[in-house]
Amino acid sequence: MPDLFFDSVWLRPPSRKRTGQPTLDRDQIVRAAMELLDEEGPSGLSMRRLGTRLGAGATSLYWHVANKDDLLELVVDEVLGEIYVPEPGDTHWRIALSVMANGMRTAFLRHSWVIGLLGTKPTLGPNAMRMGERSVALLTAAGFAGMELSHVSSMIHAHALGSATVQAALVTATKRSGQSVGQMVEQLEPYLEQLGADHPRYDEWRKGNVVLDDPERMWNDSFAFGLERLLDGLENWLAAGKPAQ
Calculate the alpha carbon distances from 234 to 78, 231, 242 in Å.
30, 5, 9
Q: Are 171 and 111 in contact (CB under 8 A)?
A: no
Residue 244 resides in a domain: no
Of 79, 100, 118, the residue at which a domain comes to its end is: 79
Domain check: are 114 and 204 in the same one? Answer: yes
Domain check: are 50 and 143 in the same one? Answer: no
Domain check: are 48 and 105 in the same one? Answer: no
Domain check: are 103 and 219 in the same one? Answer: yes
Which range among 9-18, 94-103, 169-178 shows the weakest confidence by mean pLDDT?
A: 9-18
Domain check: are 20 and 57 in the same one? Answer: yes
Under the banding of pLDDT at 50, 70 and 90, the label for residue 183 is confident
Residue 2 resides in a domain: no
Domain check: are 121 and 55 in the same one? Answer: no
Domain check: are 35 and 109 in the same one? Answer: no
Question: Mean pLDDT, the chain, as a whole number?
Answer: 90
The pLDDT assigned to 21 comes to 54
Q: How far apart are CA 84 and CA 98, in angstroms?
A: 11
pLDDT at position 152 over 90:
yes
Find the angle CA(210)-CA(214)-CA(215) to the nearest 5 degrees: 65
Count up the domains in the chain and report the number: 2
Residue 173 resides in a domain: yes
Residue 206 resides in a domain: yes
Of 58, 79, 100, the residue at which a domain comes to its end is: 79
The pLDDT assigned to 2 comes to 52
pLDDT digits (tens, 9 = 90+) for 56-112: 877 888 888 989 999 999 999 999 999 999 999 999 999 999 999 999 999 999 999
Stretch 25-52: mean pLDDT? 93
Q: How far apart are CA 166 and CA 195, in angstroms?
A: 23
Q: Which residues span the domain enclosing 99?
A: 86-179+186-239
Calculate the alpha carbon distances from 221 to 6, 12, 180, 189 in Å.
39, 43, 19, 24
Residue 225: other Cβ atoms inside 10 A: 10
Residue 26 resides in a domain: yes
Of 53, 79, 105, the residue at which a domain comes to its end is: 79
Q: Can you give the pTM of this predicted structure?
A: 0.89
Domain check: are 66 and 102 in the same one? Answer: no
The pLDDT assigned to 219 comes to 92
